[in-house]
Amino acid sequence: MAIAMSLLVASLFLFSASSSSSSSAAAADSKSNPADELVDALNKNRTAHKSSTLFDNPGLACVALQYIKAYQGRCDEVGPNGKKPADADFAETFAPNCGVQASTLAPITGRLLGCQSKYVDASEAFSGILVQNSRSLDIIYNKNHTEVGAAVSGSDGGSPYFWCILFSGGSRNSSFVLDGGVAKAQHPGCFSGTNDDCNGAVVHYQGILWVTVAGVFIAVASAFGL
Ligand SMILES: *[C@@H]1O[C@H](CO)[C@@H](O)[C@H](O)[C@H]1NC(C)=O
Ligand SMILES: *[C@@H]1O[C@H](CO)[C@@H](O)[C@H](O)[C@H]1NC(C)=O
Ligand SMILES: *[C@@H]1O[C@H](CO)[C@@H](O)[C@H](O)[C@H]1NC(C)=O
């Protein structure tokens, strides 16, 4: 039933996107990527704090999705006492997997990672999962950030869901540069900065999620910052 509903919603969405003008189709595209929405929520929050808007760098965002994948779906390893990918992984694994040119990697000036069993939309993930305390806000408002990349992904078969924001102090034109300007294909999951429609890659699994949630609701929620 839930699966049928999401298929129906998906086809209605496709219909409305294809039948509208190209400018509103573009707006619909950016609305259907939860990682882009996460960057929007972040930049609105920074603007409200009179901090600058950060450039959404697709190369950095693809690296954020790789960062999520390094946890291999293990929510229990997210948090202050959990595991953290080694710094060397950025150059040795994350960048090559994305097609980011190694010589263009810039320092990571902050990171936020959260995970839970239930899928929520980007603004709820931002406020309820990634922002845990004043330390998270210090990370968000840090003056050394110039750019950002966000990623959202389920794990094999759906739950648990991960949300990641990586910040960097690199310059927007010369850091996290992608070979040929396009990231290598990434599945599952969505990353920001490309204006790609990426609704299905995460939300596709919600039908299965509902069944899981009805059976056992595992309240695993944690987040951490640098
Ligand atoms: C930024 O978002 C957090 C979490 O929702 C909120 O607590 C904080 O007040 C927001 N900051 C501003 C300046 O709106
Ligand atoms: C910004 O970067 C400088 C130089 O690396 C560092 O000393 C400073 O603590 C950073 N500022 C913040 C707010 O993290
Ligand atoms: C960055 O790229 C944009 C668009 O390609 C260009 O307008 C801008 O001048 C560049 N900035 C720097 C600092 O190179």
Instruction: Say which DSSP state 104 is in.
Output: G
Ligand 2 binding pocket includes 138 (Cβ within 6 Å): no
pLDDT tens digits for range 79-113: 888 999 999 999 999 999 999 999 999 999 999 99
User: Lowest-pLDDT range, 16-30, 110-124, 167-181?
Assistant: 16-30
Ligand 2 binding pocket includes 142 (Cβ within 6 Å): yes
Nearest ligand (C-alpha, residue 169): 2
Could you give phi then psi for residue 146, rounded to 5 degrees? Answer: -120, -25
Per the listing, tokens 């949300």 go with 163
Instruction: Write the DSSP string, 146-189.
Output: -EEEEEEEEETTEEEEEEEEEEE-S-TTTSSPBGGGSPPP--S-
Spatial CA neighbour of 58 closest among 166, 214, 219:
166
Measured between alpha carbons, how far is 145 from 72 in angstroms, rounded to an integer? 28
* 134 CA from centroid of ligand 1 (Å): 10
Residues 116 and 209 sit within 8 Å (Cβ to Cβ)? no
Closest residue CA from atom 14 of ligand 2: 142
- For residue 167, the cross-strand partners are 110, 148
Q: Which helix (DSSP H) or strand (DSSP E) does residue 112 occupy? A: strand 108-116
pLDDT tens digits for range 137-188: 999 999 999 999 999 999 987 999 999 999 999 999 999 999 999 999 888 9
